[in-house]
């Protein structure tokens, strides 16, 4: 469904995305797709030796479900940022529900931005991940027609800010791990 910035209200809810119970096959497929091959996610014996009841799902699965909810909210939204912190482990058999609320509408760098609080709950209504997201929308249908694009473009100021943030994060990772990281231009 298409949405426009000037029609949204603070408190608008993202569609709740209810996922089927997490299967071991799904965990393995996610591990392969994300190249996250921790034995804590794939090997029960290893996970038990580390003090867990069994292998558990990567927390990033919940963030992926939150992204799915954002995309269901507005097919014409460009997601500029999506962050999350993981609150609880996700076990095989858990049913996750991705949810979110619109917190803010604002303009920055000639962009029409919306900010969401996003989270995922398990079948016991326990929050397993909470985070936030910023998206760009067209102001209205006329703005979309003028752009001749399916989603709003990122301004050059936002592009530069994202590049700086990526470079900063890369520096933090390389210094915290004592690893030399080759810096490449992202765009």
- Tens of pLDDT, residues 55-65: 999 999 999 99
Cβ atoms of 138 and 152 within 8 Å: the answer is yes
Q: Quick one: tokens of 179?
A: 């690893």
Single pTM value for the model: 0.84
Q: pLDDT tens, 65-74?
A: 999 999 999 9
Contacts 24+ apart (CB under 8 A), 153-161: 153/78, 154/78, 154/80, 154/111, 155/109, 155/110, 155/111, 157/109, 158/80, 158/108, 158/109, 158/111, 159/187
Residue 174 pLDDT > 70, yes or no?
no
Q: How far is Cα 24 from Cα 66, in angstroms, rounded to an integer?
A: 20
What CA–CA distance (Å, rounded) separates 110 from 100?
A: 25
């Amino acid at each position: 469904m298409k949405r426009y910035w000037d029609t949204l209200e603070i408190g608008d809810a993202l569609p709740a995305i209810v996922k089927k119970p997490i299967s071991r096959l799904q965990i393995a497929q996610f591990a392969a797709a994300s190249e996250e091959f921790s034995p804590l996610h794939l090997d029960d014996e290893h996970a038990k030796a580390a003090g867990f009841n069994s292998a558990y799902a990567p927390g990033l699965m919940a963030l992926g479900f939150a992204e799915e909810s954002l995309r269901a909210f507005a097919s014409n939204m460009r997601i500029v940022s999506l962050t999350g912190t993981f609150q609880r482990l996700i076990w095989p058999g858990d049913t996750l529900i991705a949810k979110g609320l619109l917190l803010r509408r604002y303009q920055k760098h000639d962009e029409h931005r919306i900010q969401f609080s996003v989270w995922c709950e398990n079948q016991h209504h326990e929050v397993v991940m909470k985070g936030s997201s910023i998206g760009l929308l067209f102001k209205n249908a006329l703005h979309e027609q003028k752009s001749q694009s399916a989603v709003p473009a990122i301004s050059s100021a936002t592009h530069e800010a994202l590049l700086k943030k990526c470079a900063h994060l890369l520096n933090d990772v390389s210094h915290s791990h004592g690893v030399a990281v080759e810096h490449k231009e992202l765009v």
